[in-house]
Homo-oligomer: A and B are copies of this chain.
């Protein structure tokens, strides 16, 4: 199905349905219990702490929690502890740190500082034998197995699954929990969606917007980062509500947009923005759940609309890896990058 000898990144993408099945079998109960714990805690706010793809996963959690439960979720820079040494001053709050490697000293510093400040701390981490794990009260495995490719894919998907599960436990949303159980088979179908050759058109653009809103905004950020990392394309993510307030001025020539649809309340606003972009002659590639949107990229419906972004990012990963190879790149060795970047 991949049309070329498989890169490590491609193999890891192809493994996602099985990896998620293992993850759910081993740790879904832990995630739901963490959600139940938050439900009982009734925190005044949640603090998230993460970098790169993990920060995009935290953004997904922010939208679920804020739009459905109303609890403020604050993404705090690790520098608050690692550079400024500032205690956190709040009452009845929790911190959730998300990381693949768990090796960054700055994330561990914020996690420790939060614990000293009286917050309950949770590390959602793929490497459970890491510095970050040691600094948190509670360790939740991401459970994606070792990730060898520089560009994170399966750990991002498993982070979304874990955070959706924590949210589902907190919200006691039985429909969502049921849909999470069905994710492995849904993701296997999502993996069949072929967004090439439409994607090849994007490669000719000087720059790209990646647009969504609500639960979809997190995968817009993730897709923009992957375009950069694996294809050298300057893609930037925007909320469909924000892109017309200034950023669109850059899209005068040789610019394109990729828009992720949602099947929930934010959906109509995204379609409206697509209309404005097309009026401004910006070529738009869109995913759609409606057969009426001709030429849209095919998507797989999850068994719950809040899980649709997880299916879409898997279809995206397949396409962006293919595009990287087609452009003559090596997605396993992105320019100027290594797997672990240490920041203080």
Which positions in A face B, CB cutoff 8 Å?
42, 44-45, 47, 51-53, 63, 66-74, 76-80, 83-84, 86-93, 106, 117, 151, 206-207, 213-214, 225, 228-230, 232-234, 236, 239, 241-242, 244-252, 255, 265-266, 269, 280, 334-337, 341, 343-344
Contacts and interface: CB of A to CB of B under 8 A. Distances in A.
Contact of A76 (B66, B244, B248): B66
A74 B206 CA distance: 34
A6 B334 CA distance: 45
B249 A334 contact: yes
Contact of A232 (B47, B239, B244, B252): B252
A252 B83 contact: no
Number of copies: 2
Contact of A241 (B106, B214, B249, B250): B106
A72 B76 contact: yes
A43 B90 CA distance: 7
Given A70-B87, A83-B214, A265-B83, A249 B337 contact: yes
Contacts of A230: 249
Contacts of A151: 246
Given A51-B242, A249-B337, A250-B228, A74 B86 contact: no
